[in-house]
Protein backbone atom coordinates (compact mmCIF):
# COMPACT_ATOMS: atom_id res chain seq x y z
CA UNK A 1 0.00 0.00 0.00
CA UNK A 2 1.31 3.41 -1.01
CA UNK A 3 0.59 6.26 1.40
CA UNK A 4 0.37 9.74 -0.10
CA UNK A 5 0.65 12.72 2.18
CA UNK A 6 -1.41 15.77 1.39
CA UNK A 7 -1.24 19.26 2.83
CA UNK A 8 -3.92 20.76 5.00
CA UNK A 9 -4.84 23.07 2.13
CA UNK A 10 -5.33 20.11 -0.20
CA UNK A 11 -7.48 18.32 2.36
CA UNK A 12 -9.69 21.39 2.73
CA UNK A 13 -10.06 21.65 -1.06
CA UNK A 14 -11.05 17.98 -1.29
CA UNK A 15 -13.45 18.45 1.62
CA UNK A 16 -15.23 21.28 -0.20
CA UNK A 17 -15.42 19.49 -3.53
CA UNK A 18 -17.23 16.63 -1.79
CA UNK A 19 -19.75 19.04 -0.23
CA UNK A 20 -19.84 22.37 -2.13
CA UNK A 21 -22.29 23.97 0.28
CA UNK A 22 -21.62 27.51 -1.04
CA UNK A 23 -22.58 26.72 -4.60
CA UNK A 24 -25.90 28.53 -4.29
CA UNK A 25 -24.58 31.55 -2.40
CA UNK A 26 -24.67 34.87 -4.23
CA UNK A 27 -21.46 36.76 -4.90
CA UNK A 28 -22.44 39.32 -2.24
CA UNK A 29 -23.08 36.57 0.31
CA UNK A 30 -19.62 35.17 -0.43
CA UNK A 31 -18.08 38.60 0.01
CA UNK A 32 -19.71 39.20 3.39
CA UNK A 33 -18.87 35.67 4.44
CA UNK A 34 -15.22 36.26 3.62
CA UNK A 35 -15.13 39.28 5.93
CA UNK A 36 -16.88 37.35 8.71
CA UNK A 37 -14.34 34.54 8.48
CA UNK A 38 -11.37 36.92 8.55
CA UNK A 39 -12.97 38.83 11.43
CA UNK A 40 -13.20 35.63 13.47
CA UNK A 41 -9.58 34.79 12.71
CA UNK A 42 -8.45 38.22 13.84
CA UNK A 43 -6.95 38.73 17.27
CA UNK A 44 -5.17 41.59 19.01
CA UNK A 45 -1.83 40.77 20.57
CA UNK A 46 -0.52 42.19 23.84
CA UNK A 47 1.64 44.47 21.68
CA UNK A 48 -1.57 45.90 20.15
CA UNK A 49 -0.89 44.39 16.76
CA UNK A 50 -3.39 42.57 14.57
CA UNK A 51 -2.68 38.85 14.50
CA UNK A 52 -4.39 35.60 13.53
CA UNK A 53 -5.54 32.72 15.70
CA UNK A 54 -3.19 29.78 15.84
CA UNK A 55 -3.98 27.22 13.10
CA UNK A 56 -3.41 24.44 15.63
CA UNK A 57 -6.49 25.45 17.63
CA UNK A 58 -9.78 27.10 16.67
CA UNK A 59 -7.94 28.98 13.93
CA UNK A 60 -7.88 25.83 11.79
CA UNK A 61 -11.67 25.87 11.46
CA UNK A 62 -11.65 29.43 10.13
CA UNK A 63 -8.75 28.68 7.79
CA UNK A 64 -10.69 25.77 6.33
CA UNK A 65 -13.77 27.96 5.81
CA UNK A 66 -11.59 30.60 4.16
CA UNK A 67 -10.21 27.90 1.87
CA UNK A 68 -13.74 26.82 0.95
CA UNK A 69 -14.61 30.36 -0.15
CA UNK A 70 -11.48 30.44 -2.33
CA UNK A 71 -12.36 27.07 -3.84
CA UNK A 72 -15.87 28.29 -4.66
CA UNK A 73 -14.51 31.49 -6.24
CA UNK A 74 -12.16 29.34 -8.32
CA UNK A 75 -15.05 27.16 -9.49
CA UNK A 76 -16.85 30.31 -10.60
CA UNK A 77 -13.76 31.54 -12.45
CA UNK A 78 -13.86 34.72 -10.39
CA UNK A 79 -11.50 36.40 -8.04
CA UNK A 80 -12.25 37.25 -4.42
CA UNK A 81 -14.68 40.14 -4.07
CA UNK A 82 -13.14 43.18 -2.31
CA UNK A 83 -13.98 43.71 1.36
CA UNK A 84 -12.31 47.12 1.64
CA UNK A 85 -15.58 48.78 2.63
CA UNK A 86 -15.31 46.97 5.99
CA UNK A 87 -12.00 48.71 6.73
CA UNK A 88 -13.67 51.54 8.68
CA UNK A 89 -14.57 49.02 11.38
CA UNK A 90 -10.86 48.52 12.09
CA UNK A 91 -10.11 52.21 12.60
CA UNK A 92 -8.23 52.62 15.87
CA UNK A 93 -8.03 48.87 16.50
CA UNK A 94 -4.30 49.09 17.31
CA UNK A 95 -4.57 52.04 19.69
CA UNK A 96 -2.70 51.34 22.97
CA UNK A 97 -4.56 49.47 25.71
CA UNK A 98 -3.19 49.11 29.27
CA UNK A 99 -1.99 45.69 30.33
CA UNK A 100 -5.21 44.52 31.94
CA UNK A 101 -4.12 40.91 31.44
CA UNK A 102 -1.91 41.12 34.52
CA UNK A 103 -4.89 42.09 36.67
CA UNK A 104 -7.08 39.40 35.13
CA UNK A 105 -4.58 36.67 35.99
CA UNK A 106 -5.33 37.18 39.67
CA UNK A 107 -8.56 35.28 39.10
CA UNK A 108 -7.83 31.69 38.16
CA UNK A 109 -11.32 30.28 38.58
CA UNK A 110 -12.46 28.42 35.48
CA UNK A 111 -15.87 30.07 35.56
CA UNK A 112 -15.67 33.80 35.08
CA UNK A 113 -17.47 36.17 32.75
CA UNK A 114 -16.83 39.68 31.50
CA UNK A 115 -19.10 42.57 30.59
CA UNK A 116 -17.67 45.32 28.39
CA UNK A 117 -19.37 48.69 28.34
CA UNK A 118 -18.79 52.41 28.79
CA UNK A 119 -17.47 53.42 32.19
CA UNK A 120 -20.67 55.03 33.51
CA UNK A 121 -22.71 51.89 32.86
CA UNK A 122 -20.25 49.43 34.39
CA UNK A 123 -19.67 51.74 37.38
CA UNK A 124 -23.42 51.78 38.02
CA UNK A 125 -23.44 47.99 37.86
CA UNK A 126 -20.38 47.58 40.08
CA UNK A 127 -21.29 50.10 42.79
CA UNK A 128 -25.09 49.86 42.83
CA UNK A 129 -25.87 46.67 40.94
CA UNK A 130 -27.94 48.73 38.49
CA UNK A 131 -28.22 46.65 35.32
CA UNK A 132 -30.24 47.13 32.17
CA UNK A 133 -32.20 44.20 30.74
CA UNK A 134 -32.91 44.70 27.04
CA UNK A 135 -35.52 43.22 24.70
CA UNK A 136 -34.33 41.13 21.77
CA UNK A 137 -36.02 43.51 19.33
CA UNK A 138 -33.70 46.35 20.42
CA UNK A 139 -30.69 44.71 18.76
CA UNK A 140 -32.16 44.81 15.25
CA UNK A 141 -31.03 48.37 14.66
CA UNK A 142 -28.90 49.48 11.70
CA UNK A 143 -27.42 52.28 13.83
CA UNK A 144 -25.74 49.81 16.17
CA UNK A 145 -22.23 48.46 15.83
CA UNK A 146 -21.84 45.27 13.79
CA UNK A 147 -20.65 43.49 16.95
CA UNK A 148 -23.98 44.30 18.65
CA UNK A 149 -26.45 44.47 15.78
CA UNK A 150 -28.37 41.24 15.23
CA UNK A 151 -31.81 40.00 14.24
CA UNK A 152 -32.37 38.25 17.56
CA UNK A 153 -36.03 37.40 16.86
CA UNK A 154 -35.25 35.17 13.87
CA UNK A 155 -32.56 32.83 12.58
CA UNK A 156 -32.07 32.03 8.88
CA UNK A 157 -30.21 29.27 7.10
CA UNK A 158 -29.70 28.74 3.36
CA UNK A 159 -30.19 25.49 1.48
CA UNK A 160 -30.03 24.55 -2.22
CA UNK A 161 -33.30 24.94 -4.11
CA UNK A 162 -34.88 21.51 -4.82
CA UNK A 163 -33.97 20.28 -8.29
CA UNK A 164 -31.92 23.38 -9.14
CA UNK A 165 -29.16 23.17 -11.72
CA UNK A 166 -26.11 25.41 -12.04
CA UNK A 167 -24.96 26.29 -15.54
CA UNK A 168 -21.56 27.59 -16.54
CA UNK A 169 -21.41 29.28 -19.94
CA UNK A 170 -18.16 29.76 -21.82
CA UNK A 171 -16.33 28.89 -18.61
CA UNK A 172 -16.73 32.47 -17.48
CA UNK A 173 -20.12 33.36 -16.11
CA UNK A 174 -22.21 31.19 -13.84
CA UNK A 175 -25.97 31.44 -13.72
CA UNK A 176 -27.21 30.41 -10.33
CA UNK A 177 -30.49 29.71 -8.69
CA UNK A 178 -30.35 31.41 -5.27
CA UNK A 179 -30.51 29.27 -2.17
CA UNK A 180 -33.79 28.75 -0.40
CA UNK A 181 -34.04 30.64 2.87
CA UNK A 182 -35.45 28.80 5.87
CA UNK A 183 -36.25 31.01 8.83
CA UNK A 184 -37.38 30.26 12.35
CA UNK A 185 -38.91 33.13 14.30
CA UNK A 186 -39.66 33.65 17.95
CA UNK A 187 -43.43 33.98 18.48
CA UNK A 188 -42.74 36.86 20.86
CA UNK A 189 -40.25 39.50 21.78
CA UNK A 190 -38.19 38.44 24.79
CA UNK A 191 -35.62 39.79 27.24
CA UNK A 192 -31.96 38.88 27.34
CA UNK A 193 -28.78 39.73 29.22
CA UNK A 194 -25.43 38.86 27.64
CA UNK A 195 -21.85 38.48 28.86
CA UNK A 196 -18.66 37.10 27.34
CA UNK A 197 -17.35 33.79 28.62
CA UNK A 198 -13.75 34.78 27.92
CA UNK A 199 -11.82 38.03 27.95
CA UNK A 200 -10.32 39.03 24.63
CA UNK A 201 -8.23 42.15 24.16
CA UNK A 202 -9.98 43.02 20.88
CA UNK A 203 -13.40 43.31 22.55
CA UNK A 204 -12.59 46.77 23.94
CA UNK A 205 -12.45 48.09 20.39
CA UNK A 206 -15.16 45.91 18.87
CA UNK A 207 -17.70 47.06 21.47
CA UNK A 208 -16.35 50.63 21.68
CA UNK A 209 -15.94 50.18 25.42
CA UNK A 210 -13.59 51.72 27.96
CA UNK A 211 -14.35 49.50 30.94
CA UNK A 212 -14.61 45.85 31.82
CA UNK A 213 -16.61 44.24 34.59
CA UNK A 214 -14.87 41.00 35.55
CA UNK A 215 -17.22 38.69 37.44
CA UNK A 216 -15.42 35.96 39.34
CA UNK A 217 -18.36 34.64 41.38
CA UNK A 218 -20.61 33.82 38.45
CA UNK A 219 -23.24 31.89 40.41
CA UNK A 220 -23.86 34.75 42.83
CA UNK A 221 -24.01 37.30 40.03
CA UNK A 222 -26.39 35.31 37.82
CA UNK A 223 -28.65 34.27 40.68
CA UNK A 224 -29.09 37.88 41.78
CA UNK A 225 -30.06 38.89 38.24
CA UNK A 226 -32.46 35.97 37.90
CA UNK A 227 -34.16 36.74 41.22
CA UNK A 228 -34.52 40.44 40.42
CA UNK A 229 -36.08 39.81 37.01
CA UNK A 230 -38.37 37.11 38.42
CA UNK A 231 -39.67 39.64 40.95
CA UNK A 232 -40.72 41.92 38.07
CA UNK A 233 -41.86 39.26 35.59
CA UNK A 234 -42.72 36.07 37.48
CA UNK A 235 -44.55 34.54 34.51
CA UNK A 236 -41.61 34.63 32.10
CA UNK A 237 -39.84 31.36 31.29
CA UNK A 238 -36.13 31.78 32.06
CA UNK A 239 -33.22 29.97 30.40
CA UNK A 240 -29.48 30.47 30.71
CA UNK A 241 -27.01 28.83 28.31
CA UNK A 242 -23.84 29.30 26.32
CA UNK A 243 -24.59 30.57 22.83
CA UNK A 244 -23.91 28.06 20.05
CA UNK A 245 -22.79 29.34 16.67
CA UNK A 246 -23.96 27.97 13.33
CA UNK A 247 -22.87 28.33 9.72
CA UNK A 248 -25.90 29.69 7.80
CA UNK A 249 -24.84 27.77 4.66
CA UNK A 250 -23.79 24.55 6.37
CA UNK A 251 -26.28 23.90 9.14
CA UNK A 252 -28.15 20.62 9.31
CA UNK A 253 -30.94 21.62 11.67
CA UNK A 254 -33.08 24.71 12.07
CA UNK A 255 -31.33 26.82 14.74
CA UNK A 256 -32.64 27.52 18.22
CA UNK A 257 -33.66 31.17 17.87
CA UNK A 258 -32.83 31.96 21.51
CA UNK A 259 -29.42 30.32 21.92
CA UNK A 260 -27.93 29.98 18.46
CA UNK A 261 -26.33 32.79 16.46
CA UNK A 262 -24.68 33.01 13.03
CA UNK A 263 -20.99 32.18 13.18
CA UNK A 264 -20.06 35.77 12.39
CA UNK A 265 -20.36 36.39 16.16
CA UNK A 266 -18.41 33.29 17.26
CA UNK A 267 -15.37 35.21 18.54
CA UNK A 268 -17.55 36.81 21.24
CA UNK A 269 -18.10 33.50 23.11
CA UNK A 270 -21.35 34.66 24.62
CA UNK A 271 -23.37 33.40 27.55
CA UNK A 272 -26.89 34.71 27.89
CA UNK A 273 -29.89 34.72 30.16
CA UNK A 274 -33.23 34.76 28.35
CA UNK A 275 -36.74 35.52 29.63
CA UNK A 276 -39.61 34.48 27.35
CA UNK A 277 -43.15 35.84 28.03
CA UNK A 278 -45.91 33.23 28.30
CA UNK A 279 -47.99 35.13 25.73
CA UNK A 280 -46.94 36.87 22.54
CA UNK A 281 -45.71 40.45 22.88
CA UNK A 282 -44.82 42.36 19.73
CA UNK A 283 -42.31 44.72 21.32
CA UNK A 284 -41.01 44.93 24.87
CA UNK A 285 -39.39 47.90 26.58
CA UNK A 286 -36.00 47.79 28.36
CA UNK A 287 -35.94 48.05 32.14
CA UNK A 288 -33.43 48.29 34.99
CA UNK A 289 -32.91 46.06 37.98
CA UNK A 290 -30.83 46.74 41.09
CA UNK A 291 -29.09 43.75 42.65
CA UNK A 292 -26.79 45.49 45.12
CA UNK A 293 -23.08 46.27 44.96
CA UNK A 294 -20.96 43.75 43.07
CA UNK A 295 -17.78 44.50 44.99
CA UNK A 296 -17.93 41.06 46.65
CA UNK A 297 -18.10 39.13 43.37
CA UNK A 298 -16.53 41.28 40.65
CA UNK A 299 -13.80 43.76 39.76
CA UNK A 300 -14.16 46.91 37.66
CA UNK A 301 -11.33 47.76 35.26
CA UNK A 302 -11.44 51.20 33.61
CA UNK A 303 -9.24 52.13 30.68
CA UNK A 304 -8.74 55.87 30.55
CA UNK A 305 -6.74 55.60 27.33
CA UNK A 306 -9.85 54.76 25.31
CA UNK A 307 -12.15 57.17 27.11
CA UNK A 308 -12.83 59.04 23.86
CA UNK A 309 -15.00 56.22 22.59
CA UNK A 310 -18.57 57.38 22.17
CA UNK A 311 -21.29 55.36 23.84
CA UNK A 312 -22.58 53.45 20.83
CA UNK A 313 -23.84 50.40 22.67
CA UNK A 314 -26.40 49.88 25.36
CA UNK A 315 -25.31 48.45 28.66
**Do 153 and 48 belong to one domain?**
no
Instruction: Give one DSSP letter per residue of 42-67, joined into a string.
Output: EEE-TTS-EEE--TTTTHHHHHHHHH
- What pLDDT does 109 receive? 58
* 171 belongs to a structural domain: no
- What pLDDT does 160 receive? 79
**Do 122 and 60 belong to one domain?**
no
**Do 193 and 150 belong to one domain?**
yes
* 180 belongs to a structural domain: no
**Do 214 and 229 belong to one domain?**
yes
* 28 belongs to a structural domain: yes
- What pLDDT does 311 receive? 42
d(CA 212, CA 193): 16
- What pLDDT does 167 receive? 57
d(CA 192, CA 274): 4
Number of other CB atoms surrounding residue 176 within 10 Å:
18
State which residues form the domain around 140. 95-157+186-315
**Do 47 and 65 belong to one domain?**
yes
- What pLDDT does 253 receive? 84
**Do 87 and 232 belong to one domain?**
no
Sign of the alpha-carbon dihedral angle for 206, 209, 210, 211: negative
**Do 77 and 13 belong to one domain?**
yes
**Do 252 and 103 belong to one domain?**
yes
pTM value?
0.88
* 21 belongs to a structural domain: yes
**Do 191 and 304 belong to one domain?**
yes
Report the domain count for the chain.
2
**Do 99 and 74 belong to one domain?**
no
* 181 belongs to a structural domain: no
Alpha-carbon torsion angle 246, 252, 258, 260, nearest 10:
-10
**Do 122 and 270 belong to one domain?**
yes
Domain end call among 44, 62, 93: 93
Give every residue of the chain whose pLDDT is below 50, as ranges. 172, 307-315
Per-residue pLDDT reduced to its tens digit, 58-85 = 899 999 999 999 999 998 888 888 888 8
Distances from the Cα of 7 to the Cα of 10, 12, 71, angstroms: 5, 9, 15
Per-residue pLDDT reduced to its tens digit, 164-209 = 655 555 554 555 667 789 999 999 999 999 999 999 989 998 998 9
Number of helices (H) and strands (E), helices first, in the chain? 7, 16
**Do 199 and 55 belong to one domain?**
no
Domain end call among 48, 69, 93: 93
Amino acid sequence: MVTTKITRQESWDIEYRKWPYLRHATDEQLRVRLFEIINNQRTLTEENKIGLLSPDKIGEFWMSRFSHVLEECGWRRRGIQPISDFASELKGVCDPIPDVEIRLREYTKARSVVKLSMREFNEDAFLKGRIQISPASAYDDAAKLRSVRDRELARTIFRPAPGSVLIRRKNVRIYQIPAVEKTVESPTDYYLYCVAMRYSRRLFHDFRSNSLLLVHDVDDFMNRIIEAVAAKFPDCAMRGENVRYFDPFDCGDIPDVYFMKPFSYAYQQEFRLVWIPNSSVRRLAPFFIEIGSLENCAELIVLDTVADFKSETEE
